[in-house]
Amino acid sequence: MDENCLSYGIEISESDWDKTPASVKQLVEKMGQHIKQSEKRLAELEAKQQELLEKINCTSKNSSSPPSSDPLHAEKHQEKKKSGKKRGGQPGHKGHSRFLYDVSECESVLDHHPQLCNCCGERLLGEDSNPYRHQIVEIPPISPIIVEHRLHQLMCQECGTLTRATLPQDVYPSGYGVRVVALVTVLSGLYRHSQRMVQSAMQDIFGISMS
């Protein structure tokens, strides 16, 4: 059976394939090869087009390029008027400190006590009722969860017809789960990343290869 038929969702039984004339088989195989080459060429052209668009839209605002390299159509930087105020927080400005999680959300709490006095070197004793709190937030190691579905094909003992099992309704035919699809949608839609950048992020962060 020709593999190109299966890749397009068309299943030809072995008996039907054996009955197919050799010239038709050859034509189907050549057409399949031509389609594969065309799809590969199209993917290359789309990737090249995306790369050129990113270069065209690259300015000093969205990259590390200097303003002198901006294209003529790029929006010019507007000079900010000096307010006469000093740099930094202004008088009366409410300060902002780093957000701290509740102790119940911490995986562990480690207490660190000074051993010696900074002034005379005497050994220190006691407990601080209000120690300075410093939290480290970390992302757990990420590895993809891979589930393989095997679709068996069995022959009917009465008529000899081959029937293959189908994927459950909750399984995406694309080969990616709900969370992967949702994340790709957010990266490409909400954050407007290019297809190439999304592919790179999924591979670098999650170890998921996407075509």
23-36 pLDDT tens trace: 777 777 788 788 88
Residue 33 lies in a domain: yes
Residue 129 lies in a domain: no
| pLDDT at residue number 72 | 61
Residue 113 lies in a domain: no
12 vs 166, higher pLDDT: 166
Per the structure, how many domains does the chain have?
2
Residue 150 lies in a domain: no
Domain boundary among 32, 62, 92: 62
Residue 145 lies in a domain: no
158 vs 80, higher pLDDT: 158
Domain boundary among 62, 96, 112: 62
User: Do the beta carbons of residue 198 and residue 184 sit within 8 Å?
Assistant: yes
Angle at 192 between CA 191 and CA 196, to 5 degrees: 115
Domain encompassing residue 173: 167-211
Residue 196 lies in a domain: yes
Domain boundary among 44, 62, 80: 62
User: Do the beta carbons of residue 144 and residue 206 sit within 8 Å?
Assistant: yes
Beta bridge partners of 162: 155
150-192 pLDDT tens trace: 999 999 999 999 999 999 988 888 888 888 888 888 988 888 8
Position 67 pLDDT exceeds 80: no
